[in-house]
Structure 1
Amino acid sequence: MVALAGAGAPILAACGGGEDAGSAGTTGTSAPPSSAPTSASSSAPSSSAPSSSAPASGTVLGPASEVPVGGGKVYTDAKVVVTQPAAGQYKGFSAVCTHQGNPIGSVEGGQIVCPFHNSHFSISDGSVVSGPARRPLPGVDVAVQGSNIVQTT
């Protein structure tokens, strides 16, 4: 009987113990979660126009051609997901789910998806579409430089 109680406790802790406990997994962000959509939105004008005259400043994530219109691409090593909600409009978000700090898995059907507990986020502003996550994905500054997506901060 004791073994059953002990075996059940980690399962409860993993799925129900702390909603949004993943905030500890977003240690790389300095902006509070409530400012994430603003950050992502404010980067949209600068990231939507290619800047071929300026030298690359930041980390090159990959070719802009890898990010489909109405979808996105997860850059696992950089822990960044880049979306393109409308043609030429690129948005960057943390690829760490705000529910429990698990990595984002994909962008499907116009939503950013965490496969661990099935949280879905908007490709436009990182807001929660369906939980268990309750907080939006923090924004990450990205820009198109030449033909590449670059993380600028």
Structure 2
Amino acid sequence: MSTESQPVPAQVPARRTVIACVGAAGLAAALTACGGGSDSAAKAPDAAPAGDGGGKDAGSVLGKTSDIPQGGGKIFAKEGVVVTQPVAGQFKAFSAKCTHQGCAVSSVTDGTINCPCHGSKFDVTDGSVKAGPAPAPLPAAAISVEGGSIKLA
């Protein structure tokens, strides 16, 4: 009798195991890329930021009241806000960041603020969701109107 031990063959995972792991990794990557891997995207911020750090300081003039169409609005991307004029002389401001997955809104048309990423629409009057998938309204942003100028508050 020989006391030599036989080499242990290397264990190779089954083909199904490899395919399942690769599929799971791909799904995880896709969910992460779309923001679906975290529930933080579903939570709306409590207050709009004053900007993204690259914008104007609080108290700086965003634009003129004449730049904001009645029933519409204007996006100030650098400052991260959208200013609307729902009715003549009434100005509102909201975060320009969609509450669905944080995309920047891209237009204001037909009484809604529109996100290009997944089609969410928000009311120009109060920022409420008019069409999903956004889970929450756009947070209000602080502005002041002095004469014909609109300023970050």
Instruction: Provide the TM-score with structure 1 as the length reference.
Output: 0.70
Is residue 134 of structure 1 aligned with residue 153 of structure 2? no
Q: Over aligned residues, Cα RMSD in angstroms?
A: 2.5
Which digits, 9 at most, give the CA deviation of each residue in 1:98-146, with x for residues without a partner? 1111111111111001111111100000011111111111101222212
1:59 is displaced (CA, Å) by 2.1
In proportion to residue count, which structure has more strand? 1
Decide whether the 8 Å contact of 1:71 with 1:111 is kept in 2: yes
Residue 38 of structure 1 corresponds to none
Secondary structure at 1:85 match in 2:
coil
In proportion to residue count, which structure has more helix? 1
- Give the direction of change, closer, same or farther, for the CA distance of 1:74–1:20 in structure 2 (3 Å limit): farther
Which digits, 9 at most, give the CA deviation of each residue in 1:62-93, with x for residues without a partner? 11111100100000011000000001010000
- Give the direction of change, closer, same or farther, for the CA distance of 1:123–1:75 in structure 2 (3 Å limit): same
Residue 74 of structure 1 corresponds to 75
Residue 49 of structure 1 corresponds to none
What amino acid is the match of 1:137?
L
Residue 121 of structure 1 corresponds to 122
For structure 1, the residue ranges without an aligned partner over 5 or more in a row are 31-56
Q: Percent identity, please.
A: 46
Decide whether the 8 Å contact of 2:47 with 2:141 is kept in 1: no
The runs of at least 4 aligned residues of structure 1 exceeding 2 Å deviation read: 1-13, 15-20, 26-30
1:18 is displaced (CA, Å) by 4.8
| Distance in 2 between residues matched to 1:129 and 1:121, nearest whole Å | 5
- Give the direction of change, closer, same or farther, for the CA distance of 1:134–1:27 in structure 2 (3 Å limit): closer
1:27 is displaced (CA, Å) by 8.2
- Give the direction of change, closer, same or farther, for the CA distance of 1:123–1:18 in structure 2 (3 Å limit): farther
Instruction: Provide the TM-score with structure 2 as the length reference.
Output: 0.70
Decide whether the 8 Å contact of 1:114 with 1:120 is kept in 2: yes
Which digits, 9 at most, give the CA deviation of each residue in 1:3-56, with x for residues without a partner? 5553443333416445660648x58648xxxxxxxxxxxxxxxxxxxxxxxxxx
- Give the direction of change, closer, same or farther, for the CA distance of 1:59–1:130 in structure 2 (3 Å limit): same
Decide whether the 8 Å contact of 1:19 with 1:99 is kept in 2: no
Is residue 9 of structure 1 aligned with residue 28 of structure 2? yes
Aligned residues: 125
Higher RCO (CA-CA < 8 Å; seq separation 6+): 1
| Distance in 2 between residues matched to 1:77 and 1:18, nearest whole Å | 27
